[in-house]
Every structure is written in C-alpha cells, then in structure tokens.
A and B are shown apart, each in its own frame.
Chain A
Amino acid sequence: MKEIIAIVRMNKLQETKRILEDMGFPSFTAMKVMGRGKQKGFIHEFTHPIPVGNKDQDVKRFIPKRMIILTVNDYEVDKIVDVIIKTNKTGNPGDGKIFVSEVIDAVRIRTGDTGEKAIL
C-alpha cells in the first residue's frame, strides 16, 4: 500500500475530486494547509502583492493550499499520480507537489478489516 500526499491549488480541488471519483477512487482526506516552495511564496497570485522588505513578513509569506491524502494499492499509484498532475498542471510555480510513501497497514474501524481489504 502507498500513501499519496498531494498539495494542490485551492481552486483545483473540486476538479481533482471529480476526476478521482470518475476513476473509482472516491475516498480521500482533504486538509486546509499553508505552504510555500522554492520561490519563498513570492508568487503574485493575489491582486495585491504582499509587501517585500520587512524581515518579519518573510516568515508570514505562506500561501493557502489544499492537501489531499489518498491510500491506494501499489499498482494504482502511477495512474493516480499521472491524473493528479494532468488535472492540476498550469505550468506556473505554485502548482504543488506530490509525495508517495509506504504504508505498512490499514484498518477499517467499522469492521476491523486490515490490509488491502480496508482500503477497497
């Protein structure tokens, strides 16, 4: 089992959700997070760019993002990563990142099922 953590733009979440649902992966966890990348948050995504120069504001330059966490079987990972990239790509910095990591076990609380049965 693999865990896919995708950090994407706020306004792309609905579309990502819809496409994942169409593909047959309706289950996931979404979170509101703040983030920044190599550009230190210097992306003028908003009409009023954040003032530059004040050192105190350097640390406050985080951009609101949405984080999606999906747990899927090993053979489905590439397919989902491709779709998430295709849906969220605009080509500009700030599109986000996808991280894939190993999950040792999963348990469905309702039935107590473990392993692949829990994420079906």
Chain B
Amino acid sequence: MKMIKAIVRPEKADIVVRALDEAGFISMTKLDVFGRGKQKGLTVGGIHYDELPKVMFLLVVDDESLDAAVDTIIDAAKTGNFGDGKIFITPVIKAYTISTGKEEL
C-alpha cells in the first residue's frame, strides 16, 4: 500500500475529487494547508505573499492502482503554471478499518 499526499490549488480541489471519483478512488481525506515552493511565494503589486493556501489530499491505495491515481490527479490539477502543487508518495505498512476492526483498506 502507498499513501499519496497531493498538494493542489484550492480552486482545482473539486475537479480533482470528481476525477478521482470517476477513476474509482472514492475514499480520501482533505486538509487545508499553506505552503510555498521554489518561487518563494507570490508577489502581487507591492505585496509579497510568503505562503499560499493549498488543499492537501491524503489517499491510501494499493500498489497496483498507484500509477492510475497519480495520473488522474496530475491530469486534473495541471494548469502548466507555477503553483500547481506536488505529489508525494510514501509506503504504508498496515491499514485498519475501525468499524470492522480488520486489517483492510
């Protein structure tokens, strides 16, 4: 199993959710986060924004469906400009469902 941490633009969040939905990835967790990238934030006029609001998605998927999920997120969240976000993938050793108490996704 792998955990996908995807940081995307807030205005793209709904589009990403719908795309993942259609691709069969329904379960996910959504967090509001603030972050910056290589461009050190954003300067609009004279005002410098150090940290920009983003939405982070946490998904845990099986190894075989990992590429499909990542491709779906990239397709949905891409605008081609700086600030589209990043996707990080980390291994998950175990997953439990609390309502059944079993070790399963």
Contacts and interface: CB of A to CB of B under 8 A. Distances in A.
Interface of A: 2, 6-8, 31, 33-38, 40, 58-60, 62, 65, 67, 81, 84-85, 88-102
B92 A100 contact: yes
21 contacts: A33-B29, A33-B58, A34-B31, A35-B27, A35-B30, A40-B21, A58-B18, A60-B14, A62-B30, A67-B31, A85-B96, A85-B98, A85-B101, A89-B101, A94-B99, A95-B99, A96-B98, A97-B60, A97-B105, A98-B95, A100-B92
A40 B26 contact: yes
B94 interface: yes
A2 B30 CA distance: 23
Contacts of A2: 93
A35 B60 CA distance: 12
B4 to A, nearest CB: 12
A83 to B, nearest CB: 11
Contacts of B29: 7, 33-35, 65, 67
Contact of B30 (A34, A88, A99): A34
Given A37-B27, A99-B3, 12 more contacts: A33-B29, A33-B30, A36-B26, A36-B28, A58-B21, A60-B14, A85-B101, A88-B98, A91-B99, A100-B93, A102-B91, A102-B93
A84 B21 CA distance: 29
A85 B105 CA distance: 14
Contact of B27 (A38, A60, A90): A38
B17 interface: yes
